[in-house]
Amino acid sequence: MPSDHSLLGFAIRRARLAGRALLEASGAPWFVPLDKLKAEAAKSAHPLVSFANYDYLGLSDHPAIKAAAHDAIDHIGVGALGSRLVGGERQIHAEFEERLAKFTGFDGCLTLVSGYLSNISTISYLMGKLDLIVYDQLSHNSIVSGVMASRADRMEFRHNDIDHLRAILTEHRGKYQHCMIAAESLYSMDGDIADLPGLMKLKEEFGCWLLIDEAHSIGVMGKRGRGICEHFGEDPARIDLVIGTLSKTFATCGGFICAQKMVRDFLAYTLPGFVYSVGLPPVIAAAAGKALDILEAEPERVAGLQRNGRHFLEASKKAGLNVGVATGDAIVPVHFADIKTTVAASAHLLDNGIYAPPIVHMGVPSALPRIRFFLSARHTPAEIERTIQVLKEFSAALPAAAAN
């Protein structure tokens, strides 16, 4: 038992446990001063190349999106200034939600102020003490936190292992009133894709609700960027809840829930994360709405992103880098043997004008540190090749035990 019970003492002990000393000593690139780096790079021959940001379609500084935001500020204002249920809503909320619903193949959509909140609130609110949640072992923390916050029983199935999910449902489904299966679409840390047809089949066979987190697949997967259903040619109506975010493809922030209209309306009156939280700022709805216009009008951005993802994956494999189970869809992790090597590799990339942070425990299991690369439609083939070359040279210089 520690003798110091203060919050400060607790924080220091926990930070030590998280390896803070090691990470700080080895110059880990956390919280890098991005503005400063970009300004410095602009003066040099090589601009900073970032793989740290999920700007999938390269819309983060699109002039039309900025103009839409300016216009919304001038005509509507910045904030929603209240929960929409009681504070009233702006026309742009309904218009944007209708368009998002249509785009994803649903007839209902509800926006919240964050993707994280959308998962946590939806899962914890819907699932009660007579219920069961079965979720993929590698689910994002917002799913896991929603599961933990609910009063339902919970079970993990092995990552993307449909046979394991079937075994759990066969043994346990009958004991519960409702059962939710929760999974991601494109996995945020490993860059592989959920077996959606398998999940749909089991959901129907065992009478479950299926929640799919499409944070990383809207604008990314499918010919027109409509997500994992378009990728597999499946009918979105076979999913009960799609959770999405505006922070990635839509280059702003906020979350959304797509569902059947009756479900959406029920959530609009009751979901705590919606009812007891401020509405999406109208300026964000305007900017994200413009991003949706561009996504619909320029499917070549989706094709460019998909090309870059495949290029990065193939070039990494060719260079002998360990990309785990990644499928080359916008997220590619490169694994290293230990945290120290991962941090050093990331620092080495930054020295070469390439920003891609290390992902270590708690974000991923402690034995599986990695650098995670987010691809964008905006990356050039030359940037991808140079990045792989820098990593290849770094790996070649490692002692055999540290190579992975």
Ligand X SMILES: Cc1ncc(COP(=O)(O)O)c(C=O)c1O
Tell me which residues touch ligand X (CB under 6 A): 114-116, 119, 140, 142, 184, 188, 213, 215-216, 245, 247, 253, 255
Task: Supply the minimum distance, in Å, between the C-beta of residue 184 and ligand X.
Answer: 5
Sheet with 179-184: list strands edge to edge: 108-112, 255-259, 241-245, 209-213, 179-184, 132-136, 153-157
- Rg for the chain (alpha carbons), in Å? 22
Query: Cα separation of 314 and 180, whole Å?
Result: 36
Question: Helix (H, G, I), strand (E, B), or coil: what is residue 187?
Answer: coil
59 or 344: CB nearest ligand X: 59
Closer CB to ligand X, residue 217 or residue 308? 217
Q: How far is the CB of 253 from ligand X (least distance, A)?
A: 6
Nearer residue to ligand X within complex by CB, 194 or 384: 194
- Residue 38, number of CB atoms within 10 A of its CB: 13
Crossing angle, helix 162-172 and helix 196-205, to 10 degrees?
A: 10
Sign of dihedral through CA atoms 150, 151, 152, 153?
A: positive
Nearer residue to ligand X within complex by CB, 253 or 390: 253
Task: List the one residue out of 243, 389, 402 whose CA is nearest residue 338.
Answer: 402
* Shortest distance in whole angstroms from residue 274 CB to ligand X: 15
Task: Answer yes or no: are the C-beta atoms of 249 and 100 closer than 8 Å.
Answer: no
Write out the two tokens for 37: 């780096």
Nearer to ligand X, 184 or 329 (CB): 184
Is 219 or 255 the residue whose CB approaches ligand X more closely? 255
Residue nearest to ligand X (CB): 115
In the complex, least distance from residue 116 CB atom to ligand X, rounded to whole angstroms = 4
User: Nearest distance from residue 141's CB to ligand X, in Å?
Assistant: 8
- At closest approach, how far in Å is the CB of 57 from ligand X? 16
Query: From the CB of 231, what's the least distance to ligand X, in Å?
Result: 16
Separation CA 28–CA 344 (nearest Å): 7
Please say which residue, 144 or 302, places its beta carbon nearer to ligand X: 144
The CA–CA distances, whole Å, from 285 to 65, 77, 84, 229 equal: 11, 11, 14, 24
